[in-house]
Structure 1
Amino acid sequence: MIKSLWHTSSLTEIRPNRSPHIESNQIRVESKYSMISLGTESLILNKNVPKAIEDYMTIPYMDGNFDLPIKYGYALSGILNTGEKVHLMHPHQDNCIVDKTSIFKACQELPLKRIPLISNMETVINAIWDSDLNQDHTIVISGFGNIGSLLAVTLKHHFNIKSKIIETNEWRKRKAQELGFELFSETSGFDIAFNTAANENALQFCIDNANEEGKIIDLSWHGNSKTILDLGGNFHKNRLHLIASQVSKIPISKRKEYDYFKRKVLAVDILKNNIFDQLITTIIPFEGAPEFFNSVRNNKVPNGLIYLIKY
């Protein structure tokens, strides 16, 4: 029997299904941890996926559709019957029957709870590539959640580059400071801003406070939300660059050097640092996942940075 997490229009629930026959080109993965992509999954719960990009937002092994119900998720870690660890793109599910080509094995040195972070680390890597930053740039990160905290820690501990944090949530502010980050004050501008907040006010703040020819890298997915920005002021005066960054494509400037496998290997190398375990603040047992997502529906998300489901 296989158990999967499903989102319906009214609730989230775990549904059992008979385990299918395994074909010769398939393999069974015993799930250990899956990562909740809170921003994306919240938009899906609320049916805020634009029709025009539904195909683009379809993930491997998804079932149902964006009108709900849907079996969705992001990335998980698991074990093969050989004992090998794997990374896999798959909805939240306790056992997975997948094509052998879907699994990524070059992650044996990582603990199982850190392996699901590989996918969001690829997002971070893309954003860093898109920014073309260097040691001389002043950098801010707007939003200290899953992506923002991963980005800040990566810049600090892998690239030895400082950044300041913009955050309105008091718990996340304290967490950023505990991890050694300085909060941004409005007394100075910045050269590069990474917006991870999926919020037009946060994006506007980045635009309004960027230095001349500064770059705003927007890592957020806004879904169906209409974003209204004032581009007649600092954006115009300071010749700013507003760049959309997302993980599904490698930047053109990096495609000769990197393919998707090599980018994943780089993500694994960065994640070997034990500091990233401090960002995993919330681990939810699989049986408790419906209660968590039903709280998300009611805008009662518990404070945290990275949320994992444990099987």
Structure 2
Amino acid sequence: MIKSLWHTQTTTELRLQNTPDLSAAQSKVISKYSMISLGTETLVLNKKIPETIKEYMKVPHMEGNFDLPIKYGYALSGVLNNGEKAHLMHPHQDNCFVDNKAIFKSCQELPLTRIPLISNMETVINAIWDSNVTKTDSIVVCGFGNIGSLLASTLKHHYNFEVKVIETNVWRKQKAIELGFEIYNDNNGFDIAFNTTSNEEALQFCIDNANEEGQIIELSWYGKSNTSLKLGENFHKNRLRLIASQVSKIPIQKRKEFDYFKRKLLAVDILKNKIFDKLITNIIPFDEVPDFFELVRKNKTPNGLIYLIKY
């Protein structure tokens, strides 16, 4: 039997399913850690996926549908029968039976806890590419959660850029300070803002404080939520650019140089830095994950940056 996580209309639960037969072109991956993509998974369990993009938002090996119940999740690490480490796009599940071509194995140098971060690191890479950021730009990262902490740490430690953090949550703000980031709290503008908050007030702050011809790279996904922005003031006066960035497509200007496999290799290379271990703040035993999501449903999510499930 295999055990997997399902979101229903009212709760989150672990379900047992029969073990499928393996073909010659398939392998078993014994799960070790999976990453909770908190923003997206919160939208999923609250049924806030827009009707027009439900097909687009399906993930590999998902079961059920966005009207719930659904077996949903993002990325995990595991080991093969021969002991090799593996990265896999798969919902939260203790053992996975998948086509060999779905398994990414060029991650042997990473610890199993860092391997699930590969997919979100690809999101970070896309955002950096979308921004065309340079050493002369003044940079802020708005929001120091999962994506924000990964992005700020990558800019600082891999690309050696100066980065300031905007964060209203006291716990996350303190974590950013402990990790060596300066908190943005002055009247000076900035050239590039990366918004990771899924919060329209934060996005408006980025727009209102960007320098002339500044860029706001919007990494958030709002689902069905409406946003109300004032675009008649600084946005108009300063000729700002608001750019949507997300992971599913490589930016056009990078497609001659990178395909999806090469982008994953870059993500692995960046994640070799041990600094990223400090972003993994919450490791939740698989059997306790339904309790975690019950807190999410009640808007009582425990403080954290990156949340991992341990199998």
* TM-score of Structure 1 vs Structure 2, range by shorter chain: over 0.9
Query: How far has the Cα of 1:277 moved from its partner?
Result: 0.2
State whether structure 2 residue 126 is matched by structure 1 residue 100. no
* 1:141-290 equivalences in 2 (<5 Å): 141-290=141-290
Query: How far has the Cα of 1:18 moved from its partner?
Result: 1.1
State whether structure 2 residue 72 is matched by structure 1 residue 77. no
SS, match of residue 292 in structure 1:
helix
Query: How far has the Cα of 1:2 moved from its partner?
Result: 0.2
1:121-142 Cα offsets, whole Å, 9 max, x none, are 0000000000000110000000
Query: How far has the Cα of 1:25 moved from its partner?
Result: 1.3
Query: How far has the Cα of 1:47 moved from its partner?
Result: 0.1
What's 1:110 paired with? Answer: 110
Query: How far has the Cα of 1:73 moved from its partner?
Result: 0.3
Query: How far has the Cα of 1:185 moved from its partner?
Result: 1.3
State whether structure 2 residue 8 is matched by structure 1 residue 8. yes
Q: Distance in 1 between matches of 2:146 and 2:132?
A: 22
TM-score (norm 2): 1.00
Q: How many residues align?
A: 311
Query: How far has the Cα of 1:162 moved from its partner?
Result: 1.0
SS, match of residue 57 in structure 1:
coil
Q: Distance in 1 between matches of 2:52 and 2:24?
A: 36
Question: Which residues of structure 1 form unaligned runs of 5+?
Answer: none
What's 1:123 paired with? Answer: 123
Q: Distance in 1 between matches of 2:58 and 2:162?
A: 36
Q: Distance in 2 between matches of 1:233 and 1:265?
A: 42
What's 1:54 paired with? Answer: 54
What's 2:38 paired with? Answer: 38
Query: How far has the Cα of 1:186 moved from its partner?
Result: 3.5
What's 2:140 paired with? Answer: 140
Q: Distance in 1 between matches of 2:57 and 2:289?
A: 22
1:168-196 Cα offsets, whole Å, 9 max, x none, are 00000000000000000131000000000
Code of the residue aligned with 1:264 in structure 2: it is K
Query: How far has the Cα of 1:161 moved from its partner?
Result: 0.3
Code of the residue aligned with 2:5 in structure 1: it is L
Question: Identity, % of aligned pairs?
Answer: 72
Question: Which residues of structure 2 form unaligned runs of 5+?
Answer: none
1:221-262 Cα offsets, whole Å, 9 max, x none, are 000000110000000000000000000000000000000000
Q: Distance in 2 between matches of 1:46 and 1:256?
A: 39
Q: Distance in 1 between matches of 2:290 and 2:137?
A: 43
What's 1:27 paired with? Answer: 27
State whether structure 2 residue 291 is matched by structure 1 residue 291. yes
TM-score (norm 1): 1.00
Code of the residue aligned with 1:42 in structure 2: it is T
SS, match of residue 165 in structure 2:
strand
After the TM superposition, list the runs of 4 or more consecutive aligned residues in structure 1 that deviate by more than 2 angstroms: none
